[in-house]
Protein backbone atom coordinates (compact mmCIF):
# COMPACT_ATOMS: atom_id res chain seq x y z
CA UNK A 1 0.00 0.00 0.00
CA UNK A 2 1.39 3.41 -0.89
CA UNK A 3 2.02 6.03 1.80
CA UNK A 4 -1.10 7.93 2.68
CA UNK A 5 0.48 11.28 1.80
CA UNK A 6 1.53 10.53 -1.74
CA UNK A 7 2.68 13.43 -3.94
CA UNK A 8 -0.31 15.41 -5.12
CA UNK A 9 -0.95 15.40 -8.83
CA UNK A 10 -3.97 15.72 -11.07
CA UNK A 11 -3.86 12.31 -12.67
CA UNK A 12 -5.13 8.85 -11.80
CA UNK A 13 -3.15 7.62 -8.79
CA UNK A 14 -2.09 4.00 -8.17
CA UNK A 15 -3.60 3.88 -4.70
CA UNK A 16 -7.04 4.04 -6.31
CA UNK A 17 -6.57 0.47 -7.48
CA UNK A 18 -7.79 -0.49 -4.02
CA UNK A 19 -11.12 0.62 -2.63
CA UNK A 20 -11.01 4.42 -2.59
CA UNK A 21 -13.00 4.51 0.61
CA UNK A 22 -11.44 2.74 3.59
CA UNK A 23 -14.44 2.05 5.80
CA UNK A 24 -12.31 1.20 8.82
CA UNK A 25 -10.24 4.36 8.57
CA UNK A 26 -11.12 7.26 10.86
CA UNK A 27 -10.94 10.98 10.17
CA UNK A 28 -10.07 13.64 12.72
CA UNK A 29 -12.65 13.67 15.47
CA UNK A 30 -13.12 9.89 15.34
CA UNK A 31 -15.66 9.94 12.53
CA UNK A 32 -15.66 7.06 10.05
CA UNK A 33 -14.54 8.05 6.60
CA UNK A 34 -17.35 7.36 4.15
CA UNK A 35 -18.20 8.55 0.65
CA UNK A 36 -20.58 11.37 -0.23
CA UNK A 37 -22.19 11.16 -3.67
CA UNK A 38 -23.04 14.67 -4.86
CA UNK A 39 -25.46 15.04 -7.76
CA UNK A 40 -25.13 18.46 -9.36
CA UNK A 41 -28.16 20.38 -10.56
CA UNK A 42 -30.41 23.36 -9.98
CA UNK A 43 -33.29 23.29 -7.49
CA UNK A 44 -36.84 24.00 -8.60
CA UNK A 45 -39.44 22.32 -10.78
CA UNK A 46 -38.55 24.30 -13.90
CA UNK A 47 -35.08 22.69 -13.95
CA UNK A 48 -36.07 19.10 -13.16
CA UNK A 49 -35.59 17.51 -16.59
CA UNK A 50 -32.93 19.79 -18.02
CA UNK A 51 -29.54 18.55 -19.22
CA UNK A 52 -27.82 20.41 -16.37
CA UNK A 53 -29.76 18.35 -13.82
CA UNK A 54 -28.45 14.96 -14.88
CA UNK A 55 -26.53 14.68 -11.60
CA UNK A 56 -29.71 15.21 -9.57
CA UNK A 57 -31.45 12.45 -11.52
CA UNK A 58 -28.63 9.99 -10.85
CA UNK A 59 -28.72 10.45 -7.08
CA UNK A 60 -32.53 10.24 -7.21
CA UNK A 61 -32.12 6.89 -9.00
CA UNK A 62 -29.67 5.70 -6.34
CA UNK A 63 -32.05 6.78 -3.58
CA UNK A 64 -34.82 4.71 -5.17
CA UNK A 65 -32.57 1.66 -5.53
CA UNK A 66 -31.31 1.75 -1.96
CA UNK A 67 -34.36 2.95 -0.02
CA UNK A 68 -33.08 6.46 0.60
CA UNK A 69 -35.31 9.11 2.16
CA UNK A 70 -34.39 12.70 1.39
CA UNK A 71 -34.11 15.13 4.30
CA UNK A 72 -33.58 18.86 3.98
CA UNK A 73 -30.39 20.35 5.35
CA UNK A 74 -29.28 23.97 5.35
CA UNK A 75 -27.82 24.01 1.84
CA UNK A 76 -28.75 20.60 0.51
CA UNK A 77 -30.98 17.56 0.63
CA UNK A 78 -29.33 14.38 1.86
CA UNK A 79 -30.03 10.73 2.59
CA UNK A 80 -27.87 7.87 3.89
CA UNK A 81 -27.78 4.65 1.88
CA UNK A 82 -25.89 1.38 1.91
CA UNK A 83 -24.43 -0.05 -1.29
CA UNK A 84 -23.21 -3.52 -0.50
CA UNK A 85 -20.81 -3.16 2.46
CA UNK A 86 -20.38 0.58 1.89
CA UNK A 87 -22.30 3.22 3.81
CA UNK A 88 -22.63 6.44 1.86
CA UNK A 89 -24.53 9.73 1.81
CA UNK A 90 -26.37 11.03 -1.25
CA UNK A 91 -26.40 14.81 -1.53
CA UNK A 92 -28.26 17.28 -3.74
CA UNK A 93 -27.08 20.88 -3.29
CA UNK A 94 -30.04 23.20 -2.69
CA UNK A 95 -27.94 26.09 -3.92
CA UNK A 96 -27.96 26.95 -7.58
CA UNK A 97 -25.29 25.35 -9.74
CA UNK A 98 -22.88 28.28 -9.59
CA UNK A 99 -22.72 27.98 -5.80
CA UNK A 100 -22.46 24.19 -5.46
CA UNK A 101 -19.19 24.50 -3.55
CA UNK A 102 -20.91 26.07 -0.54
CA UNK A 103 -23.07 22.94 -0.13
CA UNK A 104 -20.04 20.64 0.13
CA UNK A 105 -17.59 22.98 1.86
CA UNK A 106 -17.55 20.90 5.06
CA UNK A 107 -16.59 17.64 3.35
CA UNK A 108 -13.19 16.15 2.61
CA UNK A 109 -12.75 16.25 -1.20
CA UNK A 110 -11.24 12.76 -1.19
CA UNK A 111 -14.59 11.48 0.11
CA UNK A 112 -16.61 12.99 -2.73
CA UNK A 113 -18.07 11.37 -5.83
CA UNK A 114 -19.46 14.22 -7.93
CA UNK A 115 -21.99 13.31 -10.63
CA UNK A 116 -22.49 15.87 -13.39
CA UNK A 117 -23.39 16.57 -16.99
CA UNK A 118 -20.52 17.02 -19.44
CA UNK A 119 -20.55 18.95 -22.71
CA UNK A 120 -17.30 17.34 -23.85
CA UNK A 121 -18.76 13.82 -23.96
CA UNK A 122 -21.05 12.43 -26.61
CA UNK A 123 -24.67 12.49 -25.45
CA UNK A 124 -25.55 9.38 -23.48
CA UNK A 125 -22.01 8.28 -22.65
CA UNK A 126 -20.84 7.73 -19.07
CA UNK A 127 -17.25 8.11 -17.90
CA UNK A 128 -15.43 8.03 -14.57
CA UNK A 129 -12.34 10.05 -13.70
CA UNK A 130 -10.38 11.45 -10.77
CA UNK A 131 -9.18 15.04 -10.67
CA UNK A 132 -9.04 17.41 -13.61
CA UNK A 133 -10.32 20.88 -14.31
CA UNK A 134 -13.82 22.34 -14.43
CA UNK A 135 -14.09 22.15 -18.22
CA UNK A 136 -16.40 25.15 -18.25
CA UNK A 137 -18.84 23.53 -15.79
CA UNK A 138 -19.86 26.13 -13.21
CA UNK A 139 -20.79 23.57 -10.55
CA UNK A 140 -17.37 21.93 -10.78
CA UNK A 141 -15.69 25.33 -10.82
CA UNK A 142 -17.45 26.23 -7.57
CA UNK A 143 -16.46 22.96 -5.87
CA UNK A 144 -12.85 23.17 -7.07
CA UNK A 145 -12.68 26.75 -5.81
CA UNK A 146 -13.67 25.58 -2.33
CA UNK A 147 -12.01 22.17 -2.06
CA UNK A 148 -9.54 21.66 -4.89
CA UNK A 149 -9.97 18.99 -7.55
CA UNK A 150 -9.00 15.79 -5.72
CA UNK A 151 -12.37 14.08 -6.04
CA UNK A 152 -14.00 11.41 -8.20
CA UNK A 153 -16.34 12.41 -11.03
CA UNK A 154 -19.01 10.39 -12.77
CA UNK A 155 -19.65 12.25 -16.02
CA UNK A 156 -22.80 12.02 -18.14
CA UNK A 157 -22.31 13.17 -21.71
CA UNK A 158 -24.82 15.69 -23.07
CA UNK A 159 -22.91 16.64 -26.22
CA UNK A 160 -22.31 20.09 -27.63
CA UNK A 161 -25.11 22.50 -28.57
CA UNK A 162 -26.03 22.72 -32.25
CA UNK A 163 -25.00 25.75 -34.27
CA UNK A 164 -26.78 28.90 -33.20
CA UNK A 165 -27.66 27.66 -29.69
CA UNK A 166 -25.79 29.11 -26.72
CA UNK A 167 -24.32 26.86 -24.04
CA UNK A 168 -26.53 28.28 -21.26
CA UNK A 169 -29.73 27.78 -23.24
CA UNK A 170 -28.60 24.29 -24.22
CA UNK A 171 -27.78 22.98 -20.74
CA UNK A 172 -30.98 24.49 -19.32
CA UNK A 173 -33.14 22.89 -22.01
CA UNK A 174 -34.98 19.60 -21.66
CA UNK A 175 -32.60 16.65 -21.89
CA UNK A 176 -32.66 14.28 -24.85
CA UNK A 177 -33.99 10.75 -24.44
CA UNK A 178 -30.47 9.37 -24.97
CA UNK A 179 -29.23 11.35 -21.95
CA UNK A 180 -32.23 10.28 -19.87
CA UNK A 181 -31.54 6.67 -20.81
CA UNK A 182 -27.96 7.05 -19.50
CA UNK A 183 -29.09 7.91 -15.96
CA UNK A 184 -29.34 4.24 -14.78
CA UNK A 185 -25.91 3.54 -16.31
CA UNK A 186 -24.40 6.45 -14.40
CA UNK A 187 -26.02 5.12 -11.22
CA UNK A 188 -24.42 1.74 -11.99
CA UNK A 189 -21.05 3.49 -12.30
CA UNK A 190 -21.46 5.12 -8.89
CA UNK A 191 -22.28 1.73 -7.37
CA UNK A 192 -19.10 0.20 -8.82
CA UNK A 193 -17.05 3.11 -7.42
CA UNK A 194 -18.57 2.58 -3.98
CA UNK A 195 -18.46 -1.22 -3.88
CA UNK A 196 -15.12 -1.72 -5.64
CA UNK A 197 -12.98 1.25 -6.68
CA UNK A 198 -12.74 4.11 -9.17
CA UNK A 199 -10.30 2.01 -11.19
CA UNK A 200 -12.84 -0.82 -11.50
CA UNK A 201 -15.46 1.69 -12.64
CA UNK A 202 -13.06 3.18 -15.18
CA UNK A 203 -12.25 -0.24 -16.57
CA UNK A 204 -15.93 -1.01 -16.99
CA UNK A 205 -17.40 2.32 -18.15
CA UNK A 206 -14.54 4.13 -19.88
CA UNK A 207 -14.47 1.68 -22.77
CA UNK A 208 -15.18 3.25 -26.13
CA UNK A 209 -17.82 1.49 -28.18
pLDDT, residue 74, reads: 87
pLDDT, residue 9, reads: 41
Asked whether residue 197 carries a pLDDT value surpassing 80, the answer given is yes
pLDDT of 83-103, one tens digit each? 999 999 999 999 999 999 999
pLDDT, residue 207, reads: 84
185-204 in b/e form (b: 16+ CB < 10 A) is bbbbbbbbbbebbbbbbbee
Which residue among the candidates 52, 66, 116, 137 is catalytic per the annotation? Answer: 52
Overall fold of domain 33-205: Rossmann fold (3.40.50)
Domain boundaries, the chain: 33-205
Q: What is the percentage of the chain residues whose pLDDT exceeds 90?
A: 81
* 137 counts as catalytic: no
Q: To the nearest whole number, what is the mean pLDDT of the chain?
A: 87
Q: How far apart are CA 145 and CA 129, in angstroms?
A: 18
Max intra-chain CA distance, the chain? 54
Angle at 43 between CA 39 and CA 47, to 5 degrees: 95
Amino acid sequence: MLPRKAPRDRTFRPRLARSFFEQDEQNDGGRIKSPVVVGLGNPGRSYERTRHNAGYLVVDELAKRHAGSWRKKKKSEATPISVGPTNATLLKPATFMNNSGSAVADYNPENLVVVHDDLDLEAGTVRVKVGGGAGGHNGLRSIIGRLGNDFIRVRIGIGRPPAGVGVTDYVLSRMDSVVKDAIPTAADAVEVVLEQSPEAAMNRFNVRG
